């Protein structure tokens, strides 16, 4: 057996293993990470969006997590070109996307999204709607937007549940709830943006209540076997050193209510998957989540590339392709279950098949110019 044969068999053996999330069978351990593209005029995904995702499924991806999609709340989003997951036209478009991905052999879940006070007043599909958050604060801790009332909270919870029910109805394979990167759910989780003194604020467990109630409502709105994935992160957009949890004990306190509410898998977002999350142990964030909850986990962060996509120096203009030996080492010890790939898959729809056959050296390198087209 040659060295190439050995490497090929290792990649195929580790990344090519099937995996199951609450009855959803994935053909391998490679997922497509959600990436905002803004190619859906008036929030409606068209044939080009369906073809974009289907190409990745045909290229070997086991699970596709769509770009973030706005739930049905006037303040949910800030762009007319980000897709929404409500309304007859948008849902018809998304149904065609799911059908195209299934025809190519893949599985797909929409990422349901509310951006909270990241939205600037006057932006988005409903310009007159107020920007809302748990305490009327932006990510910098300064005043921004409207502090959500109990009625506001109920409306948003209902919007997530309605979109999840729609996802099951039109043929998707599960849903992912966007609880990361400083958007609305994460704003409730983070102490800098959640200064509430009612039952939705205070200590770590109380700050988790909003997220847990969304999970509970989603779980009640869909079938018991319909997978619910929850995305979380420590870092926030422009707050790269932010921490929801300073140590594993705090992380467990945050995760336990979400797991109990019905999360089937956690998608732990980091900018570099190979970095340890806490001192004294090599586990990354997804590894800790799996250890603490026993739930399925997805990891993510600059897979196959030599630069993270965003950091203190701004957005990376280009990133060279790299090998995946470090990834295979972590997969071999089952630190996490599925690896999500972002820019490398944006650059090369065949990245998954190339990784499975030890041909990542042939993958097309990423550059920021690729964001201007949907290919």
The catalytic site residues sit at 183
Of residues 14, 44, 1, the one with CA closest to residue 339: 14
Q: How far apart are CA 163 and CA 372, in angstroms?
A: 28
Q: Decide: 296 and 21 in contact? Cβ < 8 Å.
A: yes
| Tokens 């499975």 -> residue | 356
Enter the DSSP assignment of 268: E
Which SS3 state, helix, strand or coil, does residue 65 take? strand
Burial 112-130 (b: 16+ CB within 10 A, else e): bbbbbbbbebebbbeeebb
Q: Decide: 162 and 84 in contact? Cβ < 8 Å.
A: no
Q: Is 57 left (phi over 0), alpha (psi -120 to 50) or beta?
A: alpha
Q: Decide: 354 and 30 in contact? Cβ < 8 Å.
A: no
Question: Who contacts 315 (Cβ-Cβ below 8 Å, separation ≥6)?
Answer: 309, 368
C-alpha distance from residue 365 to each of 80, 316, 344 (Å):
30, 12, 7
Q: Decide: 294 and 51 in contact? Cβ < 8 Å.
A: no
- Strands 63-70 and 107-113 turn out to be parallel
Compute the C-alpha angle 299/313/336, nearest 5°: 5
Angle (deg, nearest 10), helices 3-15 and 325-332: 50
- Strands 318-319 and 366-367 turn out to be antiparallel
Of residues 180, 140, 142, 178, the one with CA closest to residue 159: 178
Angle (deg, nearest 10), helices 88-103 and 47-58: 30
């Amino acid at each position: 057996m040659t060295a190439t044969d050995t490497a090929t068999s290792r990649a195929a053996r580790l990344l090519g293993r099937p995996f199951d999330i609450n009855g959803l069978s994935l053909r391998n351990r490679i997922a497509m990470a959600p990436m905002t593209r803004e190619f859906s005029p008036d929030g409606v995904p068209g044939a080009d969006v369906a073809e974009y995702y289907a190409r990745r499924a045909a290229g070997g991806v086991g699970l596709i997590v769509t770009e973030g999609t706005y739930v049905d709340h006037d303040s949910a989003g800030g762009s007319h070109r980000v897709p929404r997951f409500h309304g007859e036209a948008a849902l018809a478009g998304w149904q065609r996307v799911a059908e195209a991905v299934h025809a190519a052999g893949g599985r797909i879940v929409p990422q349901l999204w509310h951006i909270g006070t990241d939205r600037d007043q006057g932006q988005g599909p409903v310009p007159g709607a107020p920007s809302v958050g748990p305490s009327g604060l932006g990510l910098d801790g300064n005043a921004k937007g409207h502090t959500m009332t109990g009625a506001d909270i109920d409306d948003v919870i209902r919007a997530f549940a309605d979109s999840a029910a729609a996802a099951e109805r039109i043929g998707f394979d599960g849903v992912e709830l966007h609880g990361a990167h400083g958007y609305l759910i994460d704003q409730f989780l983070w102490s800098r943006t959640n200064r509430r003194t009612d039952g939705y604020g205070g200590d770590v467990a109380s700050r988790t209540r909003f997220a847990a109630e969304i999970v509970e409502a989603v779980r009640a709105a869909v079938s018991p076997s319909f997978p619910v994935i929850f995305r979380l992160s420590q870092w926030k957009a422009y707050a790269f050193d932010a921490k929801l949890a300073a140590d594993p004990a705090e992380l467990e306190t945050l995760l336990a209510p979400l797991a109990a509410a019905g999360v089937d898998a956690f998608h732990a977002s980091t900018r570099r998957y190979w970095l340890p999350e806490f001192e004294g142990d090599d586990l990354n964030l997804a590894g800790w989540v799996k250890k603490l909850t026993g739930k399925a986990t997805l990891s993510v962060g600059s897979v196959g590339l030599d630069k993270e996509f965003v950091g203190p120096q701004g957005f990376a203009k280009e990133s060279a392709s790299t090998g995946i030996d470090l990834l295979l080492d972590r997969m071999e010890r089952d630190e996490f279950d599925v690896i999500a790939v972002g820019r490398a898959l944006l650059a090369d729809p065949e990245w998954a098949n190339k990784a499975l056959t030890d041909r990542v050296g042939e993958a097309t390198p990423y550059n920021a110019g690729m964001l201007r087209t949907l290919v």
